[in-house]
């Protein structure tokens, strides 16, 4: 019995060592690939591009000054604040509409065509109309963000509501569960993996919508910061703004993965 326990412990230790070794190799491979890309970028731009084109060494040189600049921090706060506000509105409304479409055939037949059509519509085509309707101010940016994120939430919530195992609903029906329990305790919880996938898509689309709106309406934000510095040939500073947007995307991805690991481990295994 003790020998068996020792063997199991040794096997677990060996597996852990192989896992740690693989993780270390994976991290170093990513670092190496990043350094190769940066070196190729630096050499290629220095050899073939005009001097004002952004280079890694130039970006590193201006990075501390940019991220401590009050104007840049205010731009980041404006953009991220609008994105979070728009995402919150899109999540609540999109979840209600999506689950209704997934569980009620009448809603699906009425709205499916319009949801799919508007989801495929380019945001650039809608932005001039939204700016005219909501004014050339922050309301137009918020409307664009909601429009960009809403349909991703709806489509994924709808698919999640449709994927609820029939046996769950049959058990609830056999026990005469009230409708609110069927909707919120069964349908909503079963749809959470789909909803998280929708949030991943919606966050990226929302960020794109915010930047496009800032370009078009000339609102203070990361989009206008990038556009202004690109037009004034300060490309290194503009790239720092782009990196800020990329960091937000990575943060959302990390947050969604954490939620899946922490609260939905069964969804990752399925």
Per residue in 20-56, pLDDT (tens digit) is 544 566 778 878 888 889 899 888 888 887 888 888 8
Residue 6 pLDDT: 41
**Residue pLDDT, tens place only, 190-246:** 788 888 888 989 999 999 999 999 998 888 999 999 999 999 899 999 999 999 999
Structure tokens at 73: 């921090």
User: Is the domain of 196 the same as that of 250?
Assistant: yes
User: Is the domain of 11 the same as that of 142?
Assistant: no
**Average pLDDT of the residues of the chain:** 84
Residues in the chain: 270
* pLDDT at residue 99 is higher than 60: yes
Among the listed residues 242, 263, 240, 260, the one whose alpha carbon sits nearest the alpha carbon of residue 252: 260
Q: For the ranges 23-37, 136-150, 163-177, 256-270, which has the lowest average pLDDT? A: 256-270
User: Is the domain of 112 the same as that of 29?
Assistant: no
Q: Are 149 and 98 in contact (CB under 8 A)?
A: no
Number of domains in the chain: 2
Structure tokens at 64: 């501390």
User: Is the domain of 40 the same as that of 62?
Assistant: no
* pLDDT at residue 91 is higher than 60: yes
Structure tokens at 270: 């399925």
Greater pLDDT, 225 or 167: 225
Query: Which residues lie closer than 8 Å to 113 by C-beta, 6 or more apart?
Result: none
The stretch 133-142 carries a mean pLDDT of 90
Residue 137 pLDDT: 87
% of the chain at pLDDT higher than 70 = 89
* pLDDT at residue 19 is higher than 60: no
Domain boundary among 49, 65, 80: 49
Q: Name the pLDDT band for 72 (thresholds 50, 70, 90).
A: very high
* pLDDT at residue 262 is higher than 90: no
- Enclosing domain of residue 43: 1-49
DSSP string, the chain: -HHHHHHHHHHHHHHHHHHHHHHHHHHHHHHHHHHHHHHHHHHHHHHHS-TTS--HHHHHHHHHHHHT-HHHHHHHHHHHHHHHHHHHHHHHHHHHHHHHHHH-HHHHHHHHHHHHHHHHS-HHHHHHHHHHHH-SSHHHHHHHHHHHHHHHHHHHHHHHHHTS-HHHHHHHHHTT--HHHIIIIIIIHHTHHHHHHHHHHHHHHHHHHHHHHHHHHT-SSHHHHHHHHHHTT-HHHHHHHHHHHHHHHHHHHHHHHHHHHHH-HHHHH-
User: Is the domain of 223 the same as that of 249?
Assistant: yes
Structure tokens at 222: 């990361």
- Residue 205 CA to residue 221 CA, distance in Å, equals 16
User: Is the domain of 27 the same as that of 136?
Assistant: no
Q: Name the pLDDT band for 18 (thresholds 50, 70, 90).
A: very low
| Residue 176 backbone class (left: φ over 0; alpha: ψ -120 to 50; beta: rest) | left
User: Is the domain of 165 the same as that of 216?
Assistant: yes
Structure tokens at 164: 């609820």
Q: For the ranges 11-25, 84-98, 173-187, which has the lowest average pLDDT? A: 11-25
User: Is the domain of 39 the same as that of 172?
Assistant: no
Residue 121 pLDDT: 87
The stretch 106-132 carries a mean pLDDT of 89
Q: Are 202 and 149 in contact (CB under 8 A)?
A: yes
User: Is the domain of 187 the same as that of 213?
Assistant: yes
% of the chain at pLDDT higher than 90 = 36
The CA-based angle 261-266-270, given to 5 degrees, is 115
Chain centre distance of CA 161 = 21
Residue 266 pLDDT: 66
Structure tokens at 28: 């170093």
* pLDDT at residue 65 is higher than 70: yes
């Amino acid at each position: 019995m003790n020998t068996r326990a020792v063997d199991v412990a040794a096997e677990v230790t060996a597996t852990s060592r192989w896992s740690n070794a693989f993780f270390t190799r994976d991290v170093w491979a990513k670092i190496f690939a990043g350094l190769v890309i940066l070196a190729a970028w630096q050499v290629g731009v220095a050899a073939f591009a005009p001097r004002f084109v952004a280079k890694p060494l130039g970006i590193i040189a201006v990075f501390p000054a940019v991220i401590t600049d009050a104007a840049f921090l205010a731009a980041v706060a404006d953009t991220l604040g609008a994105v979070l506000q728009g995402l919150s509105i899109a999540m609540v409304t999109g979840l209600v509409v999506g689950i209704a479409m997934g569980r009620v055939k009448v809603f699906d037949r009425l709205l499916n065509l319009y949801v799919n059509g508007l989801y495929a519509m380019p945001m650039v085509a809608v932005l001039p109309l939204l700016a005219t309707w909501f004014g050339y101010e922050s309301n137009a940016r918020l409307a664009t963000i909601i429009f960009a994120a809403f349909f991703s939430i709806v489509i994924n919530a709808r698919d999640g509501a449709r994927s609820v195992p029939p046996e769950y609903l049959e058990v609830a029906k056999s026990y005469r569960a009230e409708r609110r329990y069927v909707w919120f305790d069964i349908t909503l919880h079963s749809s959470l993996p789909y909803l998280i996938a929708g949030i991943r898509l919606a966050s990226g689309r929302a960020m794109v919508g915010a930047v496009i709106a800032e370009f078009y309406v000339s609102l203070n934000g990361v989009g206008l910061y990038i556009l202004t510095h690109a037009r004034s040939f300060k490309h290194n500073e503009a790239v720092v703004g782009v990196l800020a947007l990329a960091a937000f995307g990575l943060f959302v991805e990390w947050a969604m993965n954490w939620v899946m690991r922490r609260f939905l481990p069964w969804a990752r295994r399925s």
